[in-house]
Structure 1
Protein backbone atom coordinates (compact mmCIF):
# COMPACT_ATOMS: atom_id res chain seq x y z
CA UNK A 1 0.00 0.00 0.00
CA UNK A 2 3.01 2.33 -0.02
CA UNK A 3 2.71 5.01 -2.70
CA UNK A 4 5.22 7.69 -3.63
CA UNK A 5 3.05 10.06 -5.67
CA UNK A 6 -0.54 10.79 -6.59
CA UNK A 7 -0.31 8.70 -9.74
CA UNK A 8 0.59 5.62 -7.71
CA UNK A 9 -2.13 6.46 -5.20
CA UNK A 10 -4.76 6.60 -7.93
CA UNK A 11 -3.51 3.31 -9.36
CA UNK A 12 -3.95 1.67 -5.94
CA UNK A 13 -7.45 3.11 -5.60
CA UNK A 14 -8.36 1.68 -9.00
CA UNK A 15 -6.76 -1.72 -8.41
CA UNK A 16 -8.26 -2.17 -4.96
CA UNK A 17 -11.53 -0.37 -5.72
CA UNK A 18 -11.07 1.67 -2.55
CA UNK A 19 -11.27 5.37 -1.66
CA UNK A 20 -8.15 7.38 -0.83
CA UNK A 21 -8.98 7.28 2.87
CA UNK A 22 -8.93 3.49 3.02
CA UNK A 23 -5.68 3.22 1.04
CA UNK A 24 -4.05 5.64 3.46
CA UNK A 25 -5.43 3.84 6.51
CA UNK A 26 -4.06 0.50 5.28
CA UNK A 27 -0.72 2.13 4.47
CA UNK A 28 -0.48 3.41 8.04
CA UNK A 29 -1.22 -0.05 9.41
CA UNK A 30 1.33 -1.77 7.20
CA UNK A 31 4.21 0.70 7.49
CA UNK A 32 3.58 1.38 11.16
CA UNK A 33 3.21 -2.33 11.89
CA UNK A 34 0.13 -1.65 13.96
CA UNK A 35 -3.56 -2.43 13.92
CA UNK A 36 -6.52 -0.79 12.26
CA UNK A 37 -8.04 -0.09 15.66
CA UNK A 38 -4.88 1.66 16.83
CA UNK A 39 -4.53 4.00 13.83
CA UNK A 40 -8.25 4.79 14.00
CA UNK A 41 -7.92 5.56 17.71
CA UNK A 42 -5.06 7.98 17.02
CA UNK A 43 -7.05 9.75 14.31
CA UNK A 44 -10.05 9.95 16.63
CA UNK A 45 -7.86 11.71 19.17
CA UNK A 46 -6.72 14.16 16.49
CA UNK A 47 -10.36 14.87 15.64
CA UNK A 48 -11.15 15.54 19.31
CA UNK A 49 -8.30 18.06 19.54
CA UNK A 50 -9.44 19.72 16.33
CA UNK A 51 -12.98 20.05 17.63
CA UNK A 52 -11.88 21.56 20.92
CA UNK A 53 -9.65 24.13 19.22
CA UNK A 54 -12.39 25.04 16.73
CA UNK A 55 -15.15 25.48 19.33
CA UNK A 56 -13.53 26.87 22.48
CA UNK A 57 -12.80 30.42 21.19
CA UNK A 58 -16.41 30.79 20.03
CA UNK A 59 -17.44 30.74 23.69
CA UNK A 60 -14.27 32.01 25.32
CA UNK A 61 -12.11 34.18 23.04
CA UNK A 62 -8.40 33.66 23.48
CA UNK A 63 -5.85 36.47 23.18
CA UNK A 64 -2.71 35.55 21.29
CA UNK A 65 0.73 35.66 22.88
CA UNK A 66 1.74 38.48 20.57
CA UNK A 67 -1.48 40.39 21.12
CA UNK A 68 -2.24 40.67 17.41
CA UNK A 69 -5.36 38.46 17.31
CA UNK A 70 -8.08 37.23 19.63
CA UNK A 71 -11.86 37.23 19.49
CA UNK A 72 -12.25 37.23 15.71
CA UNK A 73 -13.99 33.84 15.58
CA UNK A 74 -16.61 34.89 18.12
CA UNK A 75 -17.25 38.11 16.19
CA UNK A 76 -17.93 36.03 13.07
CA UNK A 77 -20.34 33.82 14.98
CA UNK A 78 -22.17 36.83 16.40
CA UNK A 79 -22.34 38.38 12.95
CA UNK A 80 -24.08 35.28 11.61
CA UNK A 81 -26.40 35.09 14.62
CA UNK A 82 -27.69 38.54 13.72
CA UNK A 83 -28.60 37.31 10.23
CA UNK A 84 -26.01 39.52 8.57
CA UNK A 85 -23.76 36.92 6.99
CA UNK A 86 -23.35 37.31 3.24
CA UNK A 87 -21.68 33.91 2.90
CA UNK A 88 -23.52 30.62 2.82
CA UNK A 89 -23.79 28.66 6.04
CA UNK A 90 -21.00 26.20 5.20
CA UNK A 91 -18.48 28.87 4.23
CA UNK A 92 -19.30 31.11 7.17
CA UNK A 93 -18.93 28.31 9.71
CA UNK A 94 -15.79 27.02 8.04
CA UNK A 95 -14.22 30.46 8.28
CA UNK A 96 -15.12 30.95 11.95
CA UNK A 97 -13.85 27.51 12.91
CA UNK A 98 -10.62 28.06 10.99
CA UNK A 99 -10.01 31.41 12.66
CA UNK A 100 -10.80 29.92 16.07
CA UNK A 101 -8.09 27.27 15.69
CA UNK A 102 -5.53 29.97 14.91
CA UNK A 103 -6.51 31.81 18.09
CA UNK A 104 -5.81 28.66 20.09
CA UNK A 105 -2.52 28.11 18.30
CA UNK A 106 -1.33 31.68 18.83
CA UNK A 107 -2.17 31.49 22.53
CA UNK A 108 -0.04 28.35 22.95
CA UNK A 109 -3.07 26.07 23.15
CA UNK A 110 -3.33 22.50 21.85
CA UNK A 111 -3.97 22.13 18.11
CA UNK A 112 -3.34 19.58 15.37
CA UNK A 113 -0.76 20.81 12.88
CA UNK A 114 -2.50 19.89 9.65
CA UNK A 115 -0.02 20.13 8.09
CA UNK A 116 1.51 23.03 10.10
CA UNK A 117 0.58 25.15 13.11
CA UNK A 118 0.13 28.22 10.92
CA UNK A 119 -2.32 26.43 8.66
CA UNK A 120 -4.01 24.31 11.33
CA UNK A 121 -7.46 25.88 10.97
CA UNK A 122 -8.28 25.01 7.37
CA UNK A 123 -8.96 21.29 7.64
CA UNK A 124 -11.02 21.35 10.86
CA UNK A 125 -12.85 24.41 9.57
CA UNK A 126 -13.94 22.48 6.51
CA UNK A 127 -14.81 19.25 8.31
CA UNK A 128 -16.89 20.70 11.12
CA UNK A 129 -18.76 23.07 8.81
CA UNK A 130 -19.75 20.15 6.60
CA UNK A 131 -20.66 18.07 9.64
CA UNK A 132 -22.94 20.84 10.91
CA UNK A 133 -24.65 21.27 7.56
CA UNK A 134 -25.00 17.63 6.49
CA UNK A 135 -25.14 15.81 9.85
CA UNK A 136 -22.01 13.79 9.05
CA UNK A 137 -20.87 11.26 11.65
CA UNK A 138 -17.51 11.44 13.40
CA UNK A 139 -16.63 8.09 11.84
CA UNK A 140 -16.89 9.61 8.38
CA UNK A 141 -14.86 12.63 9.48
CA UNK A 142 -12.13 10.24 10.60
CA UNK A 143 -12.18 8.72 7.12
CA UNK A 144 -11.83 12.24 5.71
CA UNK A 145 -8.79 12.83 7.93
CA UNK A 146 -7.09 9.78 6.41
CA UNK A 147 -7.87 11.18 2.97
CA UNK A 148 -6.39 14.54 3.93
CA UNK A 149 -3.40 12.75 5.42
CA UNK A 150 -2.61 11.20 2.07
CA UNK A 151 -2.43 14.64 0.45
CA UNK A 152 -0.27 15.98 3.25
CA UNK A 153 2.04 12.99 3.03
CA UNK A 154 2.52 13.51 -0.71
CA UNK A 155 3.35 17.17 -0.14
CA UNK A 156 5.87 16.31 2.56
CA UNK A 157 7.48 13.60 0.46
CA UNK A 158 7.66 15.44 -2.85
CA UNK A 159 7.68 19.14 -1.98
CA UNK A 160 7.35 21.06 1.29
CA UNK A 161 4.79 22.33 3.78
CA UNK A 162 7.14 24.89 5.32
CA UNK A 163 6.51 28.59 4.81
CA UNK A 164 10.23 29.25 5.22
CA UNK A 165 10.89 27.04 2.20
CA UNK A 166 7.90 27.55 -0.08
CA UNK A 167 5.90 30.50 1.23
CA UNK A 168 2.33 30.40 2.49
CA UNK A 169 1.31 28.47 -0.63
CA UNK A 170 3.16 25.56 0.98
CA UNK A 171 1.36 25.96 4.33
CA UNK A 172 -2.18 27.24 3.87
CA UNK A 173 -2.03 26.05 0.26
CA UNK A 174 -1.35 22.43 1.19
CA UNK A 175 -3.80 22.60 4.11
CA UNK A 176 -6.45 23.79 1.67
CA UNK A 177 -5.59 21.03 -0.79
CA UNK A 178 -5.98 18.51 2.03
CA UNK A 179 -9.34 20.01 2.99
CA UNK A 180 -10.61 20.08 -0.59
CA UNK A 181 -9.71 16.44 -1.19
CA UNK A 182 -11.29 15.38 2.10
CA UNK A 183 -14.47 17.32 1.33
CA UNK A 184 -14.84 15.70 -2.08
CA UNK A 185 -14.61 12.20 -0.60
CA UNK A 186 -17.03 13.15 2.20
CA UNK A 187 -19.57 14.32 -0.37
CA UNK A 188 -19.33 11.17 -2.46
CA UNK A 189 -16.63 12.10 -4.96
CA UNK A 190 -14.21 9.66 -6.58
CA UNK A 191 -10.45 9.53 -5.90
CA UNK A 192 -9.76 11.29 -9.22
CA UNK A 193 -12.07 14.11 -8.19
CA UNK A 194 -10.35 14.41 -4.82
CA UNK A 195 -6.99 14.94 -6.48
CA UNK A 196 -8.51 17.27 -9.06
CA UNK A 197 -9.76 19.46 -6.22
CA UNK A 198 -6.40 19.39 -4.48
CA UNK A 199 -4.67 20.38 -7.70
CA UNK A 200 -7.10 23.24 -8.30
CA UNK A 201 -6.42 24.62 -4.83
CA UNK A 202 -2.68 24.74 -5.45
CA UNK A 203 -3.24 26.39 -8.81
CA UNK A 204 -5.41 29.08 -7.24
CA UNK A 205 -3.01 29.75 -4.36
CA UNK A 206 0.19 29.59 -6.40
CA UNK A 207 2.74 32.17 -5.31
CA UNK A 208 1.16 33.09 -1.96
CA UNK A 209 3.90 34.57 0.23
CA UNK A 210 4.60 34.02 3.93
CA UNK A 211 4.90 37.39 5.70
CA UNK A 212 3.98 37.06 9.40
CA UNK A 213 3.79 40.36 11.25
CA UNK A 214 6.46 40.47 13.92
CA UNK A 215 7.57 36.99 12.90
CA UNK A 216 4.58 35.52 14.76
CA UNK A 217 2.16 32.94 13.39
CA UNK A 218 -0.83 35.16 14.05
CA UNK A 219 -1.41 37.82 11.42
CA UNK A 220 -2.12 37.60 8.49
CA UNK A 221 -2.04 33.82 9.04
CA UNK A 222 -5.45 33.74 10.72
CA UNK A 223 -7.14 35.54 7.82
CA UNK A 224 -5.43 33.29 5.32
CA UNK A 225 -6.78 30.19 7.06
CA UNK A 226 -10.29 31.57 6.48
CA UNK A 227 -9.42 32.36 2.87
CA UNK A 228 -7.90 28.90 2.48
CA UNK A 229 -11.17 27.26 3.51
CA UNK A 230 -13.01 29.35 0.93
CA UNK A 231 -10.54 28.27 -1.74
CA UNK A 232 -10.92 24.63 -0.72
CA UNK A 233 -14.71 24.83 -0.87
CA UNK A 234 -14.64 26.33 -4.35
CA UNK A 235 -12.21 23.69 -5.60
CA UNK A 236 -14.28 20.88 -4.09
CA UNK A 237 -17.47 22.28 -5.61
CA UNK A 238 -15.90 22.51 -9.05
CA UNK A 239 -14.63 18.96 -8.87
CA UNK A 240 -17.91 17.51 -7.57
CA UNK A 241 -19.68 19.28 -10.44
CA UNK A 242 -17.54 17.30 -12.89
CA UNK A 243 -15.15 20.11 -13.85
CA UNK A 244 -11.89 18.31 -14.57
CA UNK A 245 -8.52 19.77 -13.61
CA UNK A 246 -6.27 18.83 -16.52
CA UNK A 247 -3.02 19.52 -14.62
CA UNK A 248 -2.47 16.44 -12.41
CA UNK A 249 -1.78 16.92 -8.71
CA UNK A 250 1.79 15.62 -9.04
CA UNK A 251 2.58 18.27 -11.65
CA UNK A 252 0.89 21.03 -9.66
CA UNK A 253 2.80 20.01 -6.54
CA UNK A 254 6.08 20.17 -8.48
CA UNK A 255 5.08 23.59 -9.78
CA UNK A 256 4.23 24.88 -6.30
CA UNK A 257 7.59 23.70 -5.01
CA UNK A 258 9.47 25.29 -7.89
CA UNK A 259 7.63 28.58 -7.43
CA UNK A 260 8.26 28.48 -3.70
CA UNK A 261 12.00 28.14 -4.14
CA UNK A 262 11.94 31.25 -6.33
CA UNK A 263 10.06 33.42 -3.84
CA UNK A 264 12.48 36.02 -2.39
CA UNK A 265 13.75 35.26 1.11
CA UNK A 266 11.99 38.39 2.41
CA UNK A 267 8.67 36.73 1.58
CA UNK A 268 9.37 33.36 3.15
CA UNK A 269 8.59 33.67 6.87
CA UNK A 270 11.39 36.13 7.66
CA UNK A 271 8.97 39.02 8.40
CA UNK A 272 11.14 41.27 6.24
CA UNK A 273 8.63 41.95 3.49
CA UNK A 274 5.01 41.85 2.42
CA UNK A 275 2.41 42.61 5.09
CA UNK A 276 5.07 42.40 7.80
CA UNK A 277 6.93 45.41 6.37
CA UNK A 278 3.97 47.78 6.12
CA UNK A 279 4.04 50.85 8.39
CA UNK A 280 0.86 49.79 10.18
CA UNK A 281 2.17 46.29 10.86
CA UNK A 282 5.47 47.62 12.17
CA UNK A 283 3.65 50.03 14.47
CA UNK A 284 1.36 47.24 15.71
CA UNK A 285 4.07 44.77 16.65
CA UNK A 286 6.53 47.38 17.90
CA UNK A 287 9.57 45.23 17.24
CA UNK A 288 11.15 47.62 14.77
CA UNK A 289 11.07 50.70 17.02
Structure 2
Protein backbone atom coordinates (compact mmCIF):
# COMPACT_ATOMS: atom_id res chain seq x y z
CA UNK A 1 0.00 0.00 0.00
CA UNK A 2 2.07 2.90 -1.31
CA UNK A 3 1.06 6.47 -2.19
CA UNK A 4 2.81 9.12 -4.24
CA UNK A 5 0.72 12.19 -3.52
CA UNK A 6 -1.98 13.50 -1.21
CA UNK A 7 -4.78 12.47 -3.55
CA UNK A 8 -3.64 8.85 -3.48
CA UNK A 9 -3.23 8.99 0.28
CA UNK A 10 -6.73 10.37 0.69
CA UNK A 11 -8.15 7.65 -1.56
CA UNK A 12 -6.41 4.89 0.42
CA UNK A 13 -7.67 6.29 3.72
CA UNK A 14 -11.21 6.69 2.38
CA UNK A 15 -11.44 3.27 0.73
CA UNK A 16 -10.11 1.47 3.79
CA UNK A 17 -11.64 3.74 6.43
CA UNK A 18 -8.27 4.32 8.10
CA UNK A 19 -6.42 7.41 9.35
CA UNK A 20 -3.18 8.69 7.83
CA UNK A 21 -1.12 7.07 10.58
CA UNK A 22 -2.41 3.60 9.69
CA UNK A 23 -1.89 4.21 5.98
CA UNK A 24 1.73 5.10 6.71
CA UNK A 25 2.25 2.02 8.85
CA UNK A 26 0.98 -0.17 6.03
CA UNK A 27 3.09 1.75 3.50
CA UNK A 28 6.18 1.24 5.62
CA UNK A 29 5.40 -2.48 5.98
CA UNK A 30 5.12 -2.71 2.19
CA UNK A 31 8.34 -0.80 1.48
CA UNK A 32 10.53 -2.31 4.21
CA UNK A 33 8.99 -5.78 4.25
CA UNK A 34 9.09 -5.63 8.05
CA UNK A 35 6.32 -6.64 10.42
CA UNK A 36 3.98 -4.16 12.10
CA UNK A 37 5.61 -4.97 15.44
CA UNK A 38 9.10 -4.19 14.11
CA UNK A 39 8.02 -0.90 12.57
CA UNK A 40 6.16 0.29 15.66
CA UNK A 41 9.08 -0.76 17.86
CA UNK A 42 11.46 1.32 15.74
CA UNK A 43 9.18 4.33 15.88
CA UNK A 44 8.78 3.94 19.63
CA UNK A 45 12.57 4.02 19.89
CA UNK A 46 12.61 7.25 17.85
CA UNK A 47 10.02 8.86 20.10
CA UNK A 48 12.01 7.90 23.18
CA UNK A 49 15.06 9.61 21.68
CA UNK A 50 12.97 12.72 21.02
CA UNK A 51 11.84 12.83 24.64
CA UNK A 52 15.34 12.32 25.96
CA UNK A 53 16.67 15.11 23.76
CA UNK A 54 14.04 17.50 25.13
CA UNK A 55 14.69 16.67 28.77
CA UNK A 56 18.47 16.60 28.36
CA UNK A 57 18.40 20.25 27.31
CA UNK A 58 16.53 21.06 30.51
CA UNK A 59 18.75 19.05 32.86
CA UNK A 60 22.23 19.80 31.49
CA UNK A 61 24.22 22.90 30.63
CA UNK A 62 24.89 22.34 26.94
CA UNK A 63 27.25 24.34 24.79
CA UNK A 64 27.05 24.24 21.01
CA UNK A 65 30.12 23.63 18.85
CA UNK A 66 30.07 27.22 17.58
CA UNK A 67 29.24 28.64 20.99
CA UNK A 68 26.35 30.65 19.58
CA UNK A 69 23.56 28.92 21.51
CA UNK A 70 23.12 27.19 24.84
CA UNK A 71 20.71 27.63 27.75
CA UNK A 72 17.92 29.36 25.82
CA UNK A 73 15.39 26.56 26.40
CA UNK A 74 15.72 26.86 30.16
CA UNK A 75 15.17 30.61 30.00
CA UNK A 76 11.99 30.19 27.95
CA UNK A 77 10.57 27.50 30.24
CA UNK A 78 11.47 29.36 33.43
CA UNK A 79 9.21 32.20 32.33
CA UNK A 80 6.43 29.67 31.92
CA UNK A 81 7.02 28.25 35.40
CA UNK A 82 6.80 31.75 36.84
CA UNK A 83 3.51 32.39 34.99
CA UNK A 84 5.09 35.20 33.00
CA UNK A 85 4.83 33.67 29.53
CA UNK A 86 2.78 35.74 27.11
CA UNK A 87 2.33 32.57 25.01
CA UNK A 88 0.54 30.48 27.62
CA UNK A 89 1.67 27.15 29.04
CA UNK A 90 1.27 24.97 25.97
CA UNK A 91 3.01 27.29 23.51
CA UNK A 92 5.70 28.13 26.05
CA UNK A 93 6.56 24.43 26.37
CA UNK A 94 6.41 23.81 22.62
CA UNK A 95 8.84 26.59 21.72
CA UNK A 96 11.10 25.91 24.70
CA UNK A 97 11.30 22.21 23.97
CA UNK A 98 11.91 22.85 20.27
CA UNK A 99 14.78 25.19 21.05
CA UNK A 100 16.20 22.72 23.55
CA UNK A 101 16.49 19.95 20.98
CA UNK A 102 18.61 22.26 18.82
CA UNK A 103 20.93 22.73 21.80
CA UNK A 104 21.34 18.97 22.03
CA UNK A 105 21.87 18.69 18.27
CA UNK A 106 24.51 21.41 18.09
CA UNK A 107 26.40 19.97 21.07
CA UNK A 108 26.65 16.65 19.22
CA UNK A 109 23.97 14.94 21.28
CA UNK A 110 21.55 12.30 20.02
CA UNK A 111 18.46 13.62 18.22
CA UNK A 112 16.02 12.40 15.58
CA UNK A 113 16.37 14.23 12.27
CA UNK A 114 12.67 14.62 11.56
CA UNK A 115 12.85 15.60 8.80
CA UNK A 116 16.37 17.10 9.20
CA UNK A 117 18.83 17.87 11.98
CA UNK A 118 18.29 21.58 11.41
CA UNK A 119 14.55 21.19 12.02
CA UNK A 120 14.81 18.44 14.62
CA UNK A 121 13.19 20.46 17.40
CA UNK A 122 9.82 21.13 15.80
CA UNK A 123 8.13 17.74 16.14
CA UNK A 124 9.50 16.91 19.63
CA UNK A 125 8.58 20.38 20.81
CA UNK A 126 5.00 20.06 19.62
CA UNK A 127 4.47 16.41 20.51
CA UNK A 128 5.86 16.46 24.04
CA UNK A 129 4.14 19.73 24.92
CA UNK A 130 0.82 18.29 23.75
CA UNK A 131 1.42 15.00 25.54
CA UNK A 132 2.07 16.77 28.83
CA UNK A 133 -0.86 19.15 28.38
CA UNK A 134 -3.45 16.52 27.45
CA UNK A 135 -1.98 13.38 29.07
CA UNK A 136 -1.70 11.39 25.85
CA UNK A 137 0.12 8.06 26.13
CA UNK A 138 3.46 7.28 24.53
CA UNK A 139 1.64 4.74 22.35
CA UNK A 140 -0.67 7.45 21.00
CA UNK A 141 2.18 9.87 20.33
CA UNK A 142 4.20 7.17 18.59
CA UNK A 143 1.23 6.50 16.33
CA UNK A 144 1.07 10.21 15.49
CA UNK A 145 4.68 10.06 14.35
CA UNK A 146 3.48 7.83 11.51
CA UNK A 147 1.01 10.54 10.52
CA UNK A 148 3.82 13.11 10.52
CA UNK A 149 5.98 10.65 8.61
CA UNK A 150 3.39 10.35 5.86
CA UNK A 151 3.50 14.11 5.28
CA UNK A 152 7.30 14.10 5.28
CA UNK A 153 7.26 11.15 2.88
CA UNK A 154 5.05 13.06 0.45
CA UNK A 155 7.22 16.15 0.62
CA UNK A 156 10.43 14.21 -0.01
CA UNK A 157 8.83 12.39 -2.96
CA UNK A 158 7.51 15.55 -4.60
CA UNK A 159 9.79 18.34 -3.40
CA UNK A 160 12.60 18.47 -0.82
CA UNK A 161 13.29 18.80 2.90
CA UNK A 162 16.83 19.98 2.30
CA UNK A 163 17.79 23.53 3.26
CA UNK A 164 20.62 23.39 0.75
CA UNK A 165 18.13 22.69 -2.02
CA UNK A 166 15.00 24.52 -0.92
CA UNK A 167 15.85 26.96 1.86
CA UNK A 168 14.65 26.83 5.46
CA UNK A 169 11.06 26.62 4.18
CA UNK A 170 11.98 23.07 3.14
CA UNK A 171 13.33 22.19 6.58
CA UNK A 172 11.34 24.03 9.23
CA UNK A 173 8.39 24.39 6.84
CA UNK A 174 8.22 20.65 6.25
CA UNK A 175 8.60 19.91 9.95
CA UNK A 176 5.76 22.34 10.66
CA UNK A 177 3.57 20.66 8.06
CA UNK A 178 4.33 17.23 9.52
CA UNK A 179 3.56 18.33 13.07
CA UNK A 180 0.40 20.20 12.06
CA UNK A 181 -1.04 17.12 10.37
CA UNK A 182 -0.29 14.98 13.41
CA UNK A 183 -2.04 17.46 15.70
CA UNK A 184 -5.19 17.20 13.59
CA UNK A 185 -5.34 13.40 13.82
CA UNK A 186 -4.49 13.61 17.51
CA UNK A 187 -7.52 15.86 17.96
CA UNK A 188 -9.74 13.48 15.94
CA UNK A 189 -9.68 15.50 12.74
CA UNK A 190 -10.15 13.76 9.40
CA UNK A 191 -7.67 13.22 6.58
CA UNK A 192 -8.64 16.34 4.66
CA UNK A 193 -8.13 18.48 7.73
CA UNK A 194 -4.69 16.94 8.23
CA UNK A 195 -3.73 17.93 4.70
CA UNK A 196 -5.30 21.38 5.06
CA UNK A 197 -3.29 22.07 8.21
CA UNK A 198 -0.12 20.88 6.49
CA UNK A 199 -0.80 23.12 3.51
CA UNK A 200 -1.38 26.08 5.83
CA UNK A 201 1.87 25.41 7.67
CA UNK A 202 3.84 25.36 4.41
CA UNK A 203 2.13 28.53 3.20
CA UNK A 204 2.97 30.34 6.43
CA UNK A 205 6.72 29.79 5.94
CA UNK A 206 6.88 29.89 2.15
CA UNK A 207 10.06 31.65 1.05
CA UNK A 208 11.93 31.27 4.33
CA UNK A 209 15.64 31.28 3.47
CA UNK A 210 18.40 29.13 4.94
CA UNK A 211 21.23 31.35 6.17
CA UNK A 212 23.10 29.79 9.11
CA UNK A 213 25.92 31.86 10.55
CA UNK A 214 29.27 30.16 9.87
CA UNK A 215 27.37 27.34 8.21
CA UNK A 216 26.40 25.94 11.63
CA UNK A 217 22.87 24.86 12.53
CA UNK A 218 22.73 27.27 15.46
CA UNK A 219 21.73 30.84 14.56
CA UNK A 220 19.10 31.57 13.35
CA UNK A 221 18.09 27.89 13.22
CA UNK A 222 17.26 27.46 16.91
CA UNK A 223 14.73 30.28 16.96
CA UNK A 224 13.26 29.10 13.69
CA UNK A 225 12.52 25.74 15.31
CA UNK A 226 10.48 27.67 17.87
CA UNK A 227 8.77 29.38 14.94
CA UNK A 228 8.13 26.01 13.34
CA UNK A 229 6.59 24.56 16.48
CA UNK A 230 4.28 27.53 16.95
CA UNK A 231 3.44 27.55 13.23
CA UNK A 232 2.34 23.91 13.41
CA UNK A 233 0.06 24.60 16.35
CA UNK A 234 -1.36 27.76 14.82
CA UNK A 235 -2.02 25.98 11.51
CA UNK A 236 -3.75 23.11 13.30
CA UNK A 237 -5.89 25.47 15.37
CA UNK A 238 -6.95 27.40 12.25
CA UNK A 239 -7.99 24.15 10.58
CA UNK A 240 -9.74 22.71 13.64
CA UNK A 241 -11.76 25.93 13.76
CA UNK A 242 -13.28 24.99 10.40
CA UNK A 243 -11.26 27.38 8.24
CA UNK A 244 -10.49 25.73 4.90
CA UNK A 245 -7.14 26.12 3.18
CA UNK A 246 -7.72 27.30 -0.39
CA UNK A 247 -4.65 25.65 -1.94
CA UNK A 248 -4.50 21.82 -1.84
CA UNK A 249 -1.54 20.14 -0.17
CA UNK A 250 -0.05 18.70 -3.39
CA UNK A 251 -0.08 22.11 -5.05
CA UNK A 252 1.43 23.74 -1.97
CA UNK A 253 4.28 21.23 -1.95
CA UNK A 254 4.98 22.00 -5.61
CA UNK A 255 4.89 25.72 -4.86
CA UNK A 256 7.33 25.27 -2.01
CA UNK A 257 9.71 23.32 -4.22
CA UNK A 258 9.52 25.91 -7.01
CA UNK A 259 10.13 28.77 -4.60
CA UNK A 260 13.12 26.91 -3.17
CA UNK A 261 14.62 26.38 -6.61
CA UNK A 262 14.09 30.09 -7.35
CA UNK A 263 16.06 31.20 -4.31
CA UNK A 264 19.60 32.38 -5.04
CA UNK A 265 22.16 29.79 -3.96
CA UNK A 266 23.42 32.28 -1.35
CA UNK A 267 20.11 31.76 0.49
CA UNK A 268 20.22 27.97 0.47
CA UNK A 269 22.46 26.92 3.37
CA UNK A 270 25.68 28.25 1.87
CA UNK A 271 26.13 30.86 4.64
CA UNK A 272 26.80 33.43 1.90
CA UNK A 273 23.62 35.48 2.24
CA UNK A 274 20.89 36.61 4.59
CA UNK A 275 21.78 36.77 8.28
CA UNK A 276 25.03 34.89 7.69
CA UNK A 277 26.29 37.69 5.43
CA UNK A 278 25.58 40.57 7.83
CA UNK A 279 28.61 42.32 9.40
CA UNK A 280 27.84 40.62 12.71
CA UNK A 281 27.33 37.27 11.00
CA UNK A 282 30.71 37.57 9.29
CA UNK A 283 32.42 38.64 12.52
CA UNK A 284 30.95 35.68 14.40
CA UNK A 285 32.01 33.37 11.60
CA UNK A 286 35.62 34.56 11.81
CA UNK A 287 35.68 34.20 15.59
CA UNK A 288 34.35 30.63 15.38
CA UNK A 289 36.55 29.46 12.54
TM-score normalized by structure 2? 0.98
Give ranges in structure 2 of 5+ residues lacking alignment.
none
How far does the alpha carbon of each residue in 1:69-91 deviate from its partner, in whole angstroms, 9 at most, with x for none? Answer: 00000111112122210002111
Give distance in 2, aligned partners of 1:266 and 1:32: 37
Equivalent residue, structure 2, for 1:88: 88
How far is 1:287 from its partner? 5.3
Give distance in 2, aligned partners of 1:123 and 1:92: 15
C-alpha contact 1:99 1:226 (8 A) present in aligned 2: yes
How far is 1:246 from its partner? 1.9
Equivalent residue, structure 1, for 2:8: 8
Give distance in 1, aligned partners of 2:208 and 2:84: 30
Equivalent residue, structure 1, for 2:197: 197
How far is 1:32 from its partner? 1.1
How far does the alpha carbon of each residue in 1:193-245 deviate from its partner, in whole angstroms, 9 at most, with x for none? Answer: 00000000111110000000011011100000000111111100011111111
C-alpha contact 1:61 1:74 (8 A) present in aligned 2: no
Equivalent residue, structure 2, for 1:144: 144
Counterpart check, 1:67 vs 2:61: no
Equivalent residue, structure 2, for 1:273: 273
How far is 1:283 from its partner? 2.1
Structure 2 matches for 1:13-162, cutoff 5 A?
13-162=13-162
| Count of residue pairs brought into register by the alignment | 289
Give distance in 2, aligned partners of 1:61 and 1:7: 46
TM-score normalized by structure 1? 0.98
Give distance in 1, aligned partners of 2:199 and 2:262: 20
How far does the alpha carbon of each residue in 1:225-282 deviate from its partner, in whole angstroms, 9 at most, with x for none? Answer: 0001111111000111111112110000000000000001111001111111111222
Give distance in 2, aligned partners of 1:231 and 1:161: 17
Give ranges in structure 1 of 5+ residues lacking alignment.
none
How far is 1:288 from its partner? 9.2
Residue 171 of structure 1 aligns to a residue whose secondary structure is: helix
C-alpha contact 1:199 1:249 (8 A) present in aligned 2: yes
